[in-house]
Structure 1
Amino acid sequence: MFPLETVAAQLVEAAADAIIGTDQDGRIVLVNAEAERMFGYTRAQLLDQPIEALIPEPLRARHPRLRDGYVREPKPRPMGAGRALSARRADGSSFPTEISLSAIHTEDGILIVSVVRDVTDRVRSEAKFRALLEAAPDAIVGVATDGRIALVNAQAERMFGYPRDELFGQPIEILIPESLRPRHPAHRARYFADPRPRPMGEGQPLSAVRKDGTRFPAEISLSSIETEDGLIVSAAVRDVTDRVEADAERERLKAAAERERLEARLHQSQRLESLGQLAGGVAHDFNNLLAVMLNYTNFVAELIDDAAAREPDGAWADAAADLRQVIRAGNRATELTHQLLAFGRREVVRPRVLDLNSVIIEVEQLLRRTLGEHVRLHTELAPGLWPVLADPGQIEQVLVNLAVNARDAMPQGGTLTVHTLNHEVHEPPPGTTPAVRPGRYARIRIADTGTGMPPDVLDRVFEPFFTTKPKGQGTGLGLATVYGIISQAGGYTTVQSAPGAGTAFIALIPATDDIPEPATAPPARRPRPGGETILVVEDEDALREVTRRILTRSGYRVHTAANGPEAIKIAENHDQVIDLVLTDVVMPHMQGKDLADRLHTIRPDLPVVFMSGYAEPFVVTDGALHPDVNLVTKPFTEADLLDTLQRTLAGA
């Protein structure tokens, strides 16, 4: 075995730290190899030198007093109480160290052993850390396990308004709003039990409080640091006042933009409603005029046709041709008034339960002829499409109007796609005006690959008489009619378009649980009238007279009244035979529906036929003609009027 002294000497020599032994007078008596390397002296140069030779010159004067104090109480301890100390090399340079002291009692007295460690790398790292800490844009606050503040950077001073020294040792709750302080120790304890890096609040808004008591919104991220003094939890605090205010401003602007958009759509809806009322009123007056003009023209045309037949080489033939042009123009005017009424949702409709797929299939060949050879028609019809309650003629009109528009938007050719789909609305889509009611709908999407529309055109696309076509090539009523028909069916119409990207019209029509009705053959033509007596009630003198002429020409006996009270007086005279009442709907003094109710108290079984240019609320239910109401729509032809009267009398 090696002698103990030999082993000890070898351990000292092999130590990684510098070991220097001094006597109680401060003279160096022991040096190991690491001390020679660390300080740059040879062993011979250090032995018997005062220990102050290894201490920077500014610190030498007070060192003997510190040494004497240690000699008086020689127990192992670190020097500097955890602070890095400075030592001096042979070349005069200083470096940071950690020094631990211990005393060994020998025959010659006390041997003071200094274990010196060069901590240059650690101090450099700590300096970098401190520099980073001080330069951090966020406030950094370190908290010890007892909840007291142990670390503060410059940004924390600026953010919270406290000097650094005032924060050290304070409970972290001093920086937390007072209402949240009671719960915070429990949160802190949970984090110290599982100190993983993570944000506080998990996405919830957090607040901090400054020295002056003001609160501010903050983001806080937590991490942990192991130190010689134990675990330190580091909280990185970011003042997000600017971002919160920016977010609030962004939301305000977004809400304002959405409000403006909704107001614009509401104004558009109100404008369309107002235009619809105007269009309906205009159409009503025109229908009365057209009924008079067309029927009187037909009277004259019959006479001229007879004269032309007697004198085929005379001028009557040319006059007959001229009158046919007048009648053709009158019929065209009638179509325009019906389009106006459809837009204004005042058209008389006769809805039935429909399979929209069947309607599309029936009208497909007409659509192909309308589009022409340069436009391809593609249909995608969803199986099991929910049935709807609508007027089949009006749905066909929607399809044809949209096909005409699509054709005009694709002068060089393209594709028109008609697509159906079941569509269920659970919540109204945001921004729709009026809002789509929740429920089941059959959806028709009609999309073309044409030129598309800019936003200013898109905003007015459903307005009557608005058109981008050259003068004389469009009335501007096609899309207005589409809008009115779908609205009157209880549905909604939207359009999507952009220049160069084509246009898609989408219509939602409420679904019904009823089963589509099978197609029926038209009723057989009824025989000519048999001389019944008709009471005609019409406030327009010219229309009342032309109606009387039509009826008397066909063998009916006729009583006339200019208003409701006059009609009631006639009906109260039971000596007067009345087989049927033909009355206008809108009249002064008494409306047609009120007149019918009064007449039924006098003559309960008296059949009534209404005349109207548009669908009044007391004639229709939910936009549809009531099944018990007999109605002839203005402007009517002689054949339309007589056919309605014959059917009503036969049913009575």
Structure 2
Amino acid sequence: MTTSGIDDNLCARESLRATRPVMSVREGHRVTRRTAEPESPVSDLTELEEAQFRLAIEAAPTGMLMVDEGGLIVLVNAEVERLFGYRREELVGAPLGILVPHRSRQRHPELRRAYADDPQARAMGAGRDLYGLHKDGREVPIEIGLNPVPIGGRRFVLSSIVDISERKRAERERAELLAELRDINASLEERVAERTSELAEREILLNEIHHRVKNNLQVISSLINMQVRVLESPAARAPLLACQTRVEAIALIHEKLYQSDDYARVPFAVYSRSLATNVFRAMSDSSAVVSLDVAMEDVALPMDQAIPCGLILNELIMNALKHGFPGGARGTIRVGFCRSQTGQGVLSVSDDGVGFASDFAWGAGESLGHLVIDALVDQLGGSFTVSGVNGARFELTFPLGD
């Protein structure tokens, strides 16, 4: 589609009037034909066939435009008028170049000649964005299908033209939305990276805190141990040894957290086995003839539950070793943990030792161990039961944390 200027347009129009018929498609509701001196390009058709042809072109939902070998427009339908803003009489007889954007006109004659050399039904400009020039000067995005139409020994090209403005608008909106989503995603990734860095720094800090707390508690334990060694009275040594095991129970919590990937939750089964072994080692006189049986359900407790549970476990094992097997008696201490049917945690310590005295009542005396356990049970919001059938059994029930 090209033009060489106003003079060429005038020459083309004069040539059309002198040598060719001009086809008008529809005027009102009646199909007519304006005929110049030569015969019409559709003169080989019967009047009925010609009327049907014109009606089919006019009724097409897409723009339909026919040009001759010289690139002059010989037929248009109403959709072409709407699409380009020209009246029918302005288009018929005009060169096709008036509908070609100025930036594309120089190359258009070459493209028309290439199509004339190999005319076949195909899409125009496959893979390229095509635009038509509206009468008001704006460019309209379009798709064009080309169809060679031989009539009366002459070759015409019938083009179907589709306005894809709405599709292009939707594509632009989609591209803008995708760009916005990419920006949002990039922003989120940046924030995630920042938070990941902050969490990594926090983990390093928590790791260091647990390590230092454990070391400081070990120093305290060592200081207590130094004091124990200078005391000769077993009665004087016993309270310090009990205090030492409590400090080491807390230190062990921080050691397990330091070694764990989760700095907020303690693997309680692993911790309990280590704690029980440490208590047996500290009270080696009793542990030589008493065995340990640990049956723990795998559970991770938050730190605010693991520490009181560990201290309670420490007190109960020490109590069993101290009072359950007098005179070097042999026996077994069993430590267990499970979830109840109601979803609560149940920590138990039992032995097959001598059991309780007939007048025993929990909390009746002023034992420091009993006071510590009662305070820790309250801290956990749990309940504590004691029974003395075939030995002694202590059971702590408490709500598990999230």
Larger RCO: 1 or 2 (CA < 8 Å, sep 6+): 2
Other-structure match for 2:172:
248
Q: Aligned equivalents of 1:185 and 1:258: distance in 2?
A: 43
2:194 pairs, out of 267, 270, 282, with: 270
| Residue 149 (1) aligns with residue 82 (2) | no
* Distance verdict in 2 for CA 1:216–1:470, change over 3 Å: farther
* Distance verdict in 2 for CA 1:224–1:471, change over 3 Å: farther
Q: Aligned equivalents of 2:247 and 2:203: distance in 1?
A: 24
Matches within 5 A, 1:455-470: none
| Residue 201 (1) aligns with residue 125 (2) | yes
What's the offset of the Cα at 1:265? 2.3
Other-structure match for 1:639:
none
Q: Aligned equivalents of 1:146 and 1:208: distance in 2?
A: 19
Q: Aligned equivalents of 1:127 and 1:171: distance in 2?
A: 25
Aligned residue for 2:179, secondary structure, equals helix
2:107 pairs, out of 173, 183, 195, with: 183
1:329 pairs, out of 250, 261, 267, with: 250
Amino acid at match of 1:166: E
Amino acid at match of 1:216: V
Q: Which has the larger radius of gyration?
A: 1
Q: Aligned equivalents of 1:133 and 1:183: distance in 2?
A: 29
Other-structure match for 1:538:
none
Aligned residue for 1:202, secondary structure, equals coil
Aligned residue for 1:203, secondary structure, equals coil
Q: Equivalent pairs: percent with the same residue?
A: 27
Other-structure match for 2:241:
320
Between the two proteins, the alignment pairs up a number of residues equal to 235
Amino acid at match of 2:192: Q
Q: Which runs of 4 or more aligned residues in structure 1 lie more than 6 Å from their structure 2 counterparts after TM superposition?
A: 340-343, 467-471
* Distance verdict in 2 for CA 1:258–1:125, change over 3 Å: same
Gaps of 5+ in 1: 1-80, 84-118, 344-368, 371-406, 409-466, 474-652
Amino acid at match of 2:85: G
Q: Aligned equivalents of 1:137 and 1:250: distance in 2?
A: 26
Provide, for residues 102-135 of structure 1, a one-character-per-residue CA deviation record: whole Å limited to 9, x for no partner: xxxxxxxxxxxxxxxxx9x943343333222112
* Distance verdict in 2 for CA 1:339–1:260, change over 3 Å: farther
* Distance verdict in 2 for CA 1:244–1:306, change over 3 Å: farther
Aligned residue for 1:182, secondary structure, equals coil
Amino acid at match of 1:323: Q
Other-structure match for 1:402:
none
The answer as to whether partners of 2:148 and 2:158 remain within 8 angstroms in 1 is yes
Other-structure match for 1:213:
137
The answer as to whether partners of 1:206 and 1:218 remain within 8 angstroms in 2 is yes
The answer as to whether partners of 2:66 and 2:75 remain within 8 angstroms in 1 is yes
Q: Aligned equivalents of 1:469 and 1:140: distance in 2?
A: 76
Q: Aligned equivalents of 1:82 and 1:212: distance in 2?
A: 25
Other-structure match for 2:215:
291
Q: Aligned equivalents of 1:333 and 1:271: distance in 2?
A: 25
Gaps of 5+ in 2: 1-20, 24-42, 271-297, 307-402
The answer as to whether partners of 1:279 and 1:340 remain within 8 angstroms in 2 is no
Q: Aligned equivalents of 2:190 and 2:145: distance in 1?
A: 47
| Residue 234 (1) aligns with residue 140 (2) | no
Structure with greater helix percent = 2
Other-structure match for 2:52:
128
Report the aligned-residue RMSD.
Answer: 3.8
* Distance verdict in 2 for CA 1:334–1:140, change over 3 Å: same
Q: Aligned equivalents of 2:137 and 2:159: distance in 1?
A: 20
Amino acid at match of 2:248: I
The answer as to whether partners of 1:305 and 1:317 remain within 8 angstroms in 2 is no
* Distance verdict in 2 for CA 1:338–1:300, change over 3 Å: same
* Distance verdict in 2 for CA 1:225–1:469, change over 3 Å: farther
The answer as to whether partners of 1:220 and 1:236 remain within 8 angstroms in 2 is yes
Provide, for residues 573-623 of structure 1, a one-character-per-residue CA deviation record: whole Å limited to 9, x for no partner: xxxxxxxxxxxxxxxxxxxxxxxxxxxxxxxxxxxxxxxxxxxxxxxxxxx
The answer as to whether partners of 1:218 and 1:240 remain within 8 angstroms in 2 is yes
